[in-house]
Structure 1
């Protein structure tokens, strides 16, 4: 988030001392990320540096356990939470907030520092290792499974209902609703294709693997030594390989980058319908997320709402996610 949580710093510092046994000397809020329920901090303590994520609401167990499990399998690129003194992967701050502590990775995201061909190949190798990892019985109990074609529809229905039933309290909400009406036909087409593709995949029942599910280039960190680290496992789930591959194939990357990725990933039968489905899944996620922030949330700063409006409008721009989803749909073989 761009603005700090409504929680005093001394509460976070106390949780760090009590749960992790560290003595922080500095706590710096980092205005990064696009999750309206999470806030990031840099922690300095006794000559060490940490990355702390403050989260409001119920934690997703899989977000903590999946990278921890993958590290135990030897996949060191997966950045996992550090354990508390009692061995837990998170710590309560109060009834509303929890804290997760990670090693601080010095480097830049692949969104800000483009990957070299060798690093694209390494990405392919890492994703292959993740996708071929066995699923432990513990993970089976906590990780969600892809449901196909239903995830975002309830929220979108609530957003549309809110837009139809309220008097807009701000220019941001008014403009958001205007864009939604202007793009109504496009939004309806996205929903129709999402449902149809989801029904097709549900019938086909493709094999499921461990997926990061949000592995855009901002979640790939290039360390100062050139190694790759994968962060933010909040959306981890069991799904077809295309859930992750759609971030690497047909997502605006250069053909030689895609070729290098595939060289590292190895042989795979890629279902173009599944790629298209996940492109529309991403589109609907954006519709739902930004609409929820503007119309269904009551405690977000105006700066956050203005950013949601700006990002929502960009979705329909040439080359952005709506157009890329349409291109993926057109690429499905007859």
Structure 2
């Protein structure tokens, strides 16, 4: 997307007269473009994406309006909306947050407790019935994995897929379990879940900010807590003290281990298929293959499948 067109959209849709526009590259979402946009008086984060659902923006706006400081507010369009649409993708704007990804900086034990408090406030939120009823009950990513998996299987048979095929052969038993032995779906009480609250989606600056609400879902809270209970490497708590600090901040909750097992299995399946597809199609094929090896050897897939 060219800068001139993006500037035009931001002025027409949000009334932002942008004087400087810089592309920002973060995350595994190849369907999104993120920009840092500066006007004469303020700086904003701009995202143009076809990923996720519009409900995520509605939830983020509701939580921010409720005063949850760790959820960035949404900048409204001139007409009062939360986004505009161009080429079937949503354009959203939030204030720019000076800080670094927690996956790069790590969190102190005190910050882990702070993050536990933040995620508990998200889970304890009670959105209006209309918004609650609009929330997805099933992961939109998981819903498209079957078709993507077929593309990967076909790619394994091509010369370009030789390196990936070798990894799949090495971890054949783990992958077979992920594809064929999904645990029973939990039926416990549902809450508003971020859906992807690993440290790559946490900014550390003046406090903590939980960003990228594309995967919001109405599910048992273990959907989110799973990320704090092992298998995420540097994207989650690494030590027992860090995990305990998070849980202390989060507060009393009897963790449903069966639900954790289910959501860990689902995410591991998504990661194996998604990173395998990127290893075949790009971008950054070699990086994707390395991530896949980690997921299978010591990450979520290793934890999600029996030894």
Aligned partner of 1:134 in structure 2 is 126
Match of 1:250 among 227, 230, 252: 230
Aligned partner of 2:62 in structure 1 is 69
Q: Note closer, same or farther for the CA distance 1:43–1:222 as it changes in structure 2 (3 Å cut).
A: same
Contact 1:15/1:92 (<8 A) preserved? no
Aligned partner of 2:267 in structure 1 is 282
1:28 aligns with 2:22: yes
Match of 2:255 among 256, 270, 275: 270
* Match runs of 1:48-59 below 5 Å: 48-55=42-49, 57=50
SS, match of residue 29 in structure 1? strand
SS, match of residue 43 in structure 1? strand
Q: Please give the alpha-carbon distance, in whole angstroms, between the structure 2 residues aligned to 1:72 and 1:125.
A: 18
SS, match of residue 111 in structure 1? helix
Contact 2:27/2:200 (<8 A) preserved? no
Deviation, 1:239, is 0.7
Aligned partner of 1:117 in structure 2 is 109
Q: How far does the alpha carbon of each residue in 1:143-176 deviate from its partner, in whole angstroms, 9 at most, with x for none?
A: 101379x746523542354236x644xx3x3322
Q: Please give the alpha-carbon distance, in whole angstroms, between the structure 2 residues aligned to 1:59 and 1:112.
A: 24
Contact 1:159/1:288 (<8 A) preserved? no
Contact 1:54/1:97 (<8 A) preserved? yes
Aligned partner of 2:301 in structure 1 is 322
Deviation, 1:61, is 1.3
Aligned partner of 2:290 in structure 1 is 310
Q: Note closer, same or farther for the CA distance 1:60–1:183 as it changes in structure 2 (3 Å cut).
A: same
Aligned partner of 1:3 in structure 2 is none
The alignment of Structure 1 onto Structure 2 pairs a total of residues equal to 301
Contact 1:30/1:41 (<8 A) preserved? yes
Q: Please give the alpha-carbon distance, in whole angstroms, between the structure 1 residues aligned to 2:104 and 2:153.
A: 38
Q: Please give the alpha-carbon distance, in whole angstroms, between the structure 1 residues aligned to 2:193 and 2:82.
A: 20
Aligned partner of 2:208 in structure 1 is 228
Aligned partner of 2:99 in structure 1 is 107
Aligned partner of 2:234 in structure 1 is none
Q: Please give the alpha-carbon distance, in whole angstroms, between the structure 2 residues aligned to 1:59 and 1:18.
A: 24
Q: Note closer, same or farther for the CA distance 1:257–1:180 as it changes in structure 2 (3 Å cut).
A: same
Q: CA RMSD in A?
A: 2.4
Q: Please give the alpha-carbon distance, in whole angstroms, between the structure 1 residues aligned to 2:172 and 2:266.
A: 17
Deviation, 1:316, is 2.3
Q: Please give the alpha-carbon distance, in whole angstroms, between the structure 2 residues aligned to 1:289 and 1:69.
A: 30
1:260 aligns with 2:260: no
Contact 1:156/1:287 (<8 A) preserved? no
TM-score of the two chains, using structure 2 as the length reference: 0.89
Q: Which runs of 5+ in 1 are unaligned?
A: 1-6
TM-score of the two chains, using structure 1 as the length reference: 0.82
Match of 1:214 among 196, 205, 216: 196
Aligned partner of 2:11 in structure 1 is 17
Q: Which moved more, 1:184-193 or 1:101-110?
A: 184-193
Q: Which runs of 5+ in 2 are unaligned?
A: 232-236
